[in-house]
Amino acid sequence: MDQEKNIFSDGAMLVKNGKIADLGGAADMKEMYPDESCQDMCGDIIMPGMINTHTHAPMVLFRGLADDLPLKAWLEKYIWPMEKKMVNADFVKWGVRLAMMEMIASGTTCFSDMYFFEDAAAEAVNGAGMRALLGEGVIDFPTPDAATPEEEMRRLSDLAAKWKGNDNVRISVCAHSPYTCSPDLLLKTKKLADKLKTVHHIHVAETKGERDSIAASLSGESPVKFLQRLDILDASTLAAHCVWTDAEDINILAECGVNVAHNPSSNLKLASGTAPVADMLKNGVNVSLGTDGAASNNNLDMFREMRMAALIHKGASLDPEACGAYDVLEMATINGARALSWTPLLRT
């Protein structure tokens, strides 16, 4: 993929030392590189690795645990109690290993994770040679690996120091959401993300319940407006979901340069709704794709996610041009690289 959106239907690619050195039409490339050995890939597609910008990788071990539920009941009655009982560093290590097998098998080479014991995740990712942006989920109650949000943030700082300069692993700061983090905690997580010069990853406007409860307590404000008022939205924000966003919210997301991680399967499975992605793209919002955790999907296959994104917005908007094939391919690849601010991945 390139800025000119060239598609080489009879093309060739030069690979040197495991990296793409050049590409173009097959005849031109043969003339330019007559001495290179050639492998016929006819019938195959050569495309960039996909970037899953919102997941909770170890949750593959909870796949199928609680189906056919809305987010609130799913989280409060099943996921959070199970995490309290079962999640430890070993759970994360094996969960991430299993998740990576599933991701690699379906063409994903990089992912952005929000979970706990992320050092165990980082060791697994680095060992496998995948790439990942990993962050401990900070929330206003005890988690499996921290009694307080302050402890979780100390862990994040330690992780960032440990993995600084690593080619495969980067550390983000994850605030769970505006409905589980106090305004004070959101300001602290954003400040930490700025200090570490990294992505601030957060669930935003996932459900109608979230939008309604924030509006009820904050004189009608939407989650996006609330976060803007806190002055924590900018180009380092990775906002997962953004389902319950209106035209004013979309303008804010575009003006602040917020990156949206769209998770169509998860939003459908939990009956959260359909994010207005076609309007976001029209207004210049950088929209990437994510699977969310396998327990709310129930898989980590980005090809399925692309298909879902390409279809549901056509149906929802009655516009067959909404979220075209190339738009969706960009969402799964180059938009993801932008969302993670991972510059080397932009050269896809």
Binding site for Zn ion (CB under 5 A): 292
Q: What angle do CA 219, 316, 325 make, to 5 degrees?
A: 120
Nearer to Zn ion, 292 or 330 (CB): 292
Q: Residue 283, Cα to own-chain centre: how many angstroms?
A: 20
Nearer to Zn ion, 335 or 348 (CB): 335
Q: How far apart are CA 138 and CA 203, in angstroms?
A: 11
Question: Residues 60, 99: contact at Cβ < 8 Å?
Answer: yes
The interaxial angle of helices 118-128 and 149-163, nearest 10 deg, is 20
Residue 265 burial (10 A CB sphere; 0-12, 13-18, 19+) = buried
Residue nearer to Zn ion on the CB measure, 288 or 348: 288
- Give the tokens for residue 284: 């210049």
- Burial (CB count <10 Å: 0-12, 13-18, 19+), residue 315: exposed
The residue whose Cβ lies closest to Zn ion is 292
DSSP symbol at 77: I
**In terms of DSSP bridges, do strands 237-241 and 259-262 run parallel, antiparallel, or are they unpaired?**
parallel
Alpha-carbon gap, residue 282 to 34, rounded angstroms: 44
Looking at beta carbons only, is 155 or 201 nearer to Zn ion?
201
User: Which DSSP letter does residue 294 get?
Assistant: G
Q: Which residues pair with 259 in a beta bridge?
A: 238, 286
Considering the complex, state which of residue 292 and residue 327 has its C-beta at the smaller distance from Zn ion. 292
CB of 291 to Zn ion, least distance (A): 9
In whole angstroms, how close is the CB of 214 to Zn ion at the nearest point?
18
CA distances from 122 to 133, 197, 291, 301 (A): 9, 18, 19, 21
241 and 209 Cβ atoms separated by less than 8 Å? no
Nearer to Zn ion, 145 or 292 (CB): 292
Provide the minimum distance between the beta carbon of 117 and Zn ion in the complex, in angstroms, as a whole number.
Answer: 17
Smaller CB distance to Zn ion: residue 48 or 137? 137
**Strand ranges, E, within the chain:** 11-16, 19-25, 50-55, 108-115, 131-138, 169-171, 173-175, 200-204, 237-241, 259-262, 286-289
Amino acid at 173: V
Q: Which is nearer to Zn ion, 228 or 272 (CB)?
A: 272
Measured from the CB of residue 32, what is the shortest distance to Zn ion in angstroms? 46
CA 293 to CA 316: how far, in whole Å? 24
Residue number, 249 or 292, with CB nearest to Zn ion: 292
